[in-house]
């Protein structure tokens, strides 16, 4: 049995150079957080972009960069500034990302960026081929690399390849609008196994394969050229132990061990002990519904004025893709909304919204999860949403209420949360009222069920499940070819 090669656009760390020194900064985001724990457990090599463009890497720096990455079990794919503009900010984030999240109005169809996407996918495929041995298993991740499976297959026809999509796969009616729809499907079909978070995404994919390529599909097997490709759903879990154990450790800290953030949170909790803290954590992305959530909060304060000075919304918005115009516009919109709502409702004793536009260290994230009474997550469309799962995992005393959008993949497995439609302000306001007044016993019984489920199907089991299916698929394919 060979090693596993993980491939994703970003590596578990992003490199930065300051004053000639290389700094490795942990990557934030769902894929990175999830796969990091899988990577650290096993014998794997992670291939991806280091965060540095070719233009910034001198001959002298290169071995140091390779060394810094090797310390994280990683190896780089070298990209130029032009690659990043065309492939990452262009095709990946102005075409695929909005289209797959049903934001047709944001979707651009640009030939140049498509060409860049093809060229960069080829670079990733070549980097894999250079490092792979015939008995290795290749696990390709996410929407930036959908051509990679086929490009690797062309050079290594017998190697085992799995692909996992971390975002939704849209319905056929949306997907068919993409000028390069067939190329994307064929790229993915270079895999032996294609995984999605939910059964719905899987169904959408199969429907596109049937209708656009006219291929034979039997249950979840696709007959493609002389191979059989399996498609299945694998809802991604979290590193449950890490979140629950860190939360338990935090609960036992002495006063002097508390973080500055925790001290401030405690101060405000002590000032108004019956106040409720609402929490939302997302990358600043239009799919996450942050602006809508702020409008809904204003609607709630007007509908239920008794909660003025009694609730506080803490928003952690992590900077993301700030080179793409829609993200810049969103940033401005969120800044303005926070300013307007705070200006409208604040009193000398109370600021309704605390807004952080930055990424926080892991320990602070746990402080927020464990201190806030309600997690309020309202994506307009989200492949899974791990924040919802992390919040529940940190509630070691089982208190806390999760309000979650039906449009998040995680809603499928979290029926005990309060599920809402992010476009329905009336329902949201009433659900906030219900969450604020939910008896502790009810919170505990809901969270007990959720925790049990999350603990069982954690990220390790998710990865095992995927890899197990990939191995089985290899056996099945061999018998199919032999027939
Ligand atoms: C994509 C899909 C899918 C957030 N802020 C900080 C921080 N985080 C960590 C959270 C969580 C992760 O980032 C965010 O994951 P999500 O799943 O919520 O969202 P995306 O980044 O959009 O991820 C998504 C996911 O891939 C996995 O397949 O669920 O649907 O869009 O783990 O903890 N971590 C730290 N500081 C922060 O400020 N340290």
How high is the mean pLDDT in each 10-residue block of the chain (483 residues)? 91 89 83 77 88 90 92 95 96 98 97 98 98 94 98 96 98 98 98 98 97 94 94 96 96 93 90 92 97 98 96 95 91 97 95 95 96 98 97 98 98 98 98 98 98 96 93 76 57
- Relative to the CA of 26, which ligand 1 atom is closest? 39
Task: Tell me how far apart the alpha carbons of residues 390 and 240 are, in angstroms, rounded to a whole number.
Answer: 7
Counting beta carbons within 10 angstroms of the beta carbon of residue 323, is it exposed (0 to 12), middle (13 to 18) or buried (19 or more)?
A: exposed
pLDDT of 32 reads 80
pLDDT of 476 reads 74
Q: Which residues contact 108 (CB under 8 A, 6 or more apart)?
A: 94, 95
pLDDT of 41 reads 67
Sheet (strand 4-10) strand order: 74-76, 44-49, 4-10, 137-141, 160-164, 193-196, 227-233, 221-224, 216-218
Ligand 1 pocket test, candidate residues 27, 29, 376, most atoms within 8 A of CB:
29
pLDDT of 480 reads 64
- Relative to the CA of 390, which ligand 1 atom is closest? 33
- Residue 387: CB within 6 Å of ligand 1? yes
Structural contact between residues 155 and 122, judged by C-beta atoms closer than 8 angstroms: no
Q: Find the 63 Cα to ligand 1 centroid distance in Å.
A: 31
pLDDT of 19 reads 81
pTM of the prediction?
A: 0.96
The CA-to-CA distance between both ends of the chain, in Å, stands at 25
SS3 call for 417: coil
Task: Retrieve residue 30's tokens.
Answer: 């769902």
- Relative to the CA of 164, which ligand 1 atom is closest? 28
- Residue 31: CB within 6 Å of ligand 1? yes
pLDDT of 482 reads 55
- Residue 368: CB within 6 Å of ligand 1? no
Q: Find the 243 Cα to ligand 1 centroid distance in Å.
A: 14
pLDDT of 271 reads 83
Task: Tell me how far apart the alpha carbons of residues 389 and 413 are, in angstroms, rounded to a whole number.
Answer: 10
Q: Find the 30 Cα to ligand 1 centroid distance in Å.
A: 3
pLDDT of 479 reads 67
CA 346 to chain centre: 33
Q: Which residues contact 134 (CB under 8 A, 6 or more apart)?
A: 2, 156, 158, 159
């Amino acid at each position: 049995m060979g090693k596993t090669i993980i491939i994703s656009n970003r590596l578990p760390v992003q490199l930065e150079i300051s004053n000639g020194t290389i700094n490795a900064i942990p990557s934030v985001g769902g894929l990175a957080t999830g796969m990091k724990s899988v990577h650290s457990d096993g014998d794997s090599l992670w291939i991806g972009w280091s965060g540095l463009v070719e233009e910034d890497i001198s001959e002298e720096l290169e071995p140091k960069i390779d060394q810094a990455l090797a310390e994280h079990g990683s190896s780089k794919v070298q990209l130029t500034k032009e690659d990043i503009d065309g492939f990452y900010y262009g095709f990946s984030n102005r075409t695929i990302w909005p289209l797959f999240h049903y934001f047709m109005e944001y979707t651009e169809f640009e030939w140049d960026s498509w060409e860049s996407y093809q060229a960069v996918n080829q670079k990733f495929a070549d980097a894999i081929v250079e490092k792979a041995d015939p008995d290795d298993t290749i696990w390709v991740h996410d929407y930036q690399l959908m051509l990679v499976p086929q490009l690797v297959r062309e050079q290594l026809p017998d190697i085992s390849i799995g692909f996992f999509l971390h975002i939704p796969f849209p319905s056929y009616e949306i997907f068919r609008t993409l000028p390069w729809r067939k190329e994307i499907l064929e790229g993915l079909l270079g895999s032996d196994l294609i995984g999605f978070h939910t059964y719905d995404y899987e169904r959408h994919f199969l429907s596109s394969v049937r209708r656009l390529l006219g291929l034979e599909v039997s249950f979840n097997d696709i007959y493609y050229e002389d191979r059989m490709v399996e498609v299945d759903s694998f809802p991604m879990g979290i590193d449950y132990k890490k979140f629950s154990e860190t939360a338990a450790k935090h609960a036992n800290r002495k006063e002097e061990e508390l973080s500055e953030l925790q001290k401030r949170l405690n101060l405000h909790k002590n000032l108004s002990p019956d106040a409720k803290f609402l929490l939302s954590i997302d990358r600043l992305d239009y799919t996450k519904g942050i602006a809508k959530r702020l409008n809904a909060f204003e609607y709630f304060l007007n509908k239920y004025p008794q909660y003025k000075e009694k609730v506080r919304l803490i928003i952690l918005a992590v900077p993301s893709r700030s080179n793409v115009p829609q993200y810049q516009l969103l940033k401005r919109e969120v800044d303005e909304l926070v300013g307007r709502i705070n200006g409208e409702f604040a009193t000398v004793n109370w600021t309704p919204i605390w807004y952080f536009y930055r990424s926080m260290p892991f320990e602070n994230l746990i402080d927020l999860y464990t201190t806030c009474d309600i997690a309020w997550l309202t994506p307009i469309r989200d492949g899974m949403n791990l924040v919802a799962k992390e919040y529940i995992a940190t509630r070691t005393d089982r208190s806390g209420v999760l309000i979650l959008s039906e449009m998040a993949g995680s809603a499928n497995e979290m029926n005990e949360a309060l599920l809402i439609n992010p476009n329905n302000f009336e329902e949201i306001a009433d659900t906030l009222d219900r969450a604020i007044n939910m008896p502790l016993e009810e919170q505990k019984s809901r969270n007990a069920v959720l925790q049990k489920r999350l603990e069982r199907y954690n990220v390790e089991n998710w990865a095992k499940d995927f890899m197990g299916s990939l191995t089985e698929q290899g056996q099945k394919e061999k018998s199919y070819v032999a027939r």
